[in-house]
Structure 1
Amino acid sequence: MNLFVETFLFLATLVYSYLEAFVKLFVPVRRKSVSGELVLITGAGHGVGRATALEFAKRQSRLVLWDISKHGVEETAAECKGLGATVETFVVDCSKREEIYSAAEKVKKEIGDVTILVNNAGVITAADLLSTQDHQIERMFEVNILAHMWTTRAFLPAMMNNNYGHIVTVASAAGHFVTSFMVAYCSSKFAAVGFHKALTEELSTLGKDGIKTTCLCPVFINTGFVKNPSTRLGKILEVEEVVEALMEGIVTNQKMVFVPSNQSVALLLERVLPERALNVLKKMTDVKFDAIIGQGSTQ
């Protein structure tokens, strides 16, 4: 195929895609059912993980809940069982590859094939780079991105065999926009977003169109992990509104879920505005939170 024909096809596809997007503004989006699906959620003992488990429980999904906290994951399980869901719990430290693989084998042998995997577990340290200790940096990468790879490698083969499943990556706005005093955290979340995009592309290349992917990217959430966050533009999110957007993204097979949705506009502006203008815009936004500043002790 020559370059002229390829260019024509590209332009035709571009016009068709815009027309399709316009029509979809007036057509209700088809939503899939998650009833009966085997859903595994990491970091299910609190915050977004717990709220997501409760939403799946309301939709009659079967649940497998992982968390490093036995008390937290059992509390979540009790609430989900109160909604009529069947629930199995595992205490798993997602910073440890061996624990992930071991727990995954038990799930596959004793419960069945996971059809929806929600990689939600995450950790954060808010400090400047020199005050962030080596073990904190390592743990952020172990939990925020490497764990996603280990869980996906464990449960993807069955999805591939059946050409069916859904992999959810809980990332962050910090995977698209940088923030001072979060160098390691932003780096790990950029990696999580990259993982989602690369996995999505690879599944498409392999023709596995039955395996869907969704990436969640919220701004600061009121979970207590970041102390006293504030911003002049927008607001600090509540867990419930983030999970509502996530569930909508899952049942409608959205690839990228921004909360709030205007982040997509900000992402476009970052790519087209001059650096000087972007700096002014960042000052207007004025994102703040309590962070450690200064050379930290390694003791």
Structure 2
Amino acid sequence: MRCIKKLLQYLKFLFFLLIENTFSLFSRRKKYYAGEIVLITGSANGIGRQVALRLALGVTLVLYIDDEGNKETSRLAQQNGANRVFVYHCDCSNREEVYEQADKVKKEVGDVTILINNAGILIGKKFCDLTDEDFEKTLRINFFSQVWTLKAFLPAMVACNRGHLVSTASAAGLMGLYRLSDYCASKSAIIGMMESINSELYHGGKCGIKTTIICPYFISTGLSKGFKSKRPCLFPVYDPEYAASRIVDAIKKEKFYLIMPPAVYLLGLKIFLPRKVVLLLESYVKFPESMEEAYGQKKKD
């Protein structure tokens, strides 16, 4: 009975994804977010910067983490029509610093209405090669940083029943993958947490707060260290500009999940398949080889 119940849960999950993505094609698109206060972590480069530039028109931007990179993001965002841009140095892996900077944002800027949690790291070591410090660092930056920013900014959204939570998870949050034990753990935790928060908001009558969970495959940023897909027709490595355009589109359409590329949906079918079939699929797309080339010891030497 337990297996049947679990199977039905996955069927429900997949059915919901298909229905939501079908109806999102006809959903009302918001033209702009004038007047919103948008906070983006990891905005100094890569996806974070590109999302900031695409959301800039008429909004107040709050940029977190890297000072130097965010100066350039700030300059470009103002060129793109941002109302105001504030840059804060914040080590998102440090809970006290996250709360301290959040208090400054509330006092100096106002209540954040769109929170985009994008900061993350990928170490790429095998499980037995990961030190305890490695694992803790991955969880602090990838997962707990999101816990702390949500704790800091969600209450104000709840009070006025208005806002949008956007969390960058990963396709690796849908299935455990080679050389990604710590990363997969952190991204799976994000998906579970955000689904739970969305459930609490819905059942608490706070439907004015939207949630978007981003689950991409590899993006060609510094995080990917030159990762190259062996089967780009199935699993392409997107550039940050394209990925950001998809993310902003998902935010404007208020999509709950953004899963890209489409082949990533196959990962949700893992419960139906014998484990050996999943491993054979990994072999077919040569994912272990790609990871070894990008993160293996030979690369470092």
TM-score w.r.t. the length of structure 1 is 0.86
- TM superposition shift of 1:80: 0.6
2:39 counterpart SS class = strand
Distance in 2 (CA, whole Å) between partners of 1:181 and 1:93 is 25
8 Å CA contact 1:172, 1:189 repeated in 2? yes
8 Å CA contact 1:66, 1:92 repeated in 2? yes
Structure 1 residues 149, 22: CA separation in 2 closer, same or farther (over 3 Å shift)?
Answer: closer
8 Å CA contact 1:128, 1:293 repeated in 2? no
Give 1:119's aligned residue. Answer: 117
8 Å CA contact 1:94, 1:147 repeated in 2? yes
Distance in 2 (CA, whole Å) between partners of 1:150 and 1:123 is 17
The RMSD of aligned alpha carbons is 2.2
Distance in 2 (CA, whole Å) between partners of 1:171 and 1:164 is 23
Distance in 2 (CA, whole Å) between partners of 1:216 and 1:291 is 23
Question: Where in structure 1 are there 5+ consecutive unaligned residues?
Answer: 1-16, 295-299
Give 2:77's aligned residue. Answer: 80
Moved more, 126-135 or 241-250: 126-135
Q: Which runs of 4+ in 1 moved over 6 A?
A: 20-23
**1:217-250 deviations in whole A, cap 9, x for unaligned?**
1101111223332223322111111111111111
**1:180-202 deviations in whole A, cap 9, x for unaligned?**
11111111111111111111111
**1:143-202 deviations in whole A, cap 9, x for unaligned?**
111111111111111101110000000111111122111111111111111111111111
Give 2:37's aligned residue. Answer: 38
- TM superposition shift of 1:276: 2.8
1:89 counterpart SS class = strand
Structure 1 residues 22, 143: CA separation in 2 closer, same or farther (over 3 Å shift)?
Answer: closer
> What is the aligned counterpart of 1:163 among 161, 164, 172?
161
**1:19-49 deviations in whole A, cap 9, x for unaligned?**
x879848x73201232221000011111111
Question: Where in structure 2 are there 5+ consecutive unaligned residues?
Answer: 1-15
8 Å CA contact 1:128, 1:292 repeated in 2? no
Give 2:3's aligned residue. Answer: none
**1:63-94 deviations in whole A, cap 9, x for unaligned?**
01111x21011111111112221100000000
Whether 2:273 is the aligned partner of 1:269: answer: no
1:50 counterpart letter in structure 2: R
TM-score w.r.t. the length of structure 2 is 0.85
Give 2:280's aligned residue. Answer: 280
2:27 counterpart letter in structure 1: V
Distance in 1 (CA, whole Å) between partners of 2:89 and 2:193 is 25
Identical aligned residues as a percent: 36
Q: Which structure is larger by alpha-carbon Rg, 1 or 2?
A: 1
Give 1:70's aligned residue. Answer: 67
Structure 1 residues 110, 182: CA separation in 2 closer, same or farther (over 3 Å shift)?
Answer: same
1:34 counterpart SS class = coil
1:262 counterpart SS class = helix
1:261 counterpart letter in structure 2: P
Which is richer in helix?
A: 2
Whether 2:52 is the aligned partner of 1:53: answer: yes
Number of aligned residues: 274
Whether 2:98 is the aligned partner of 1:94: answer: no
**1:88-143 deviations in whole A, cap 9, x for unaligned?**
00000000011110111011111111000001111110111222222221111111
1:158 counterpart SS class = helix
- TM superposition shift of 1:293: 5.8
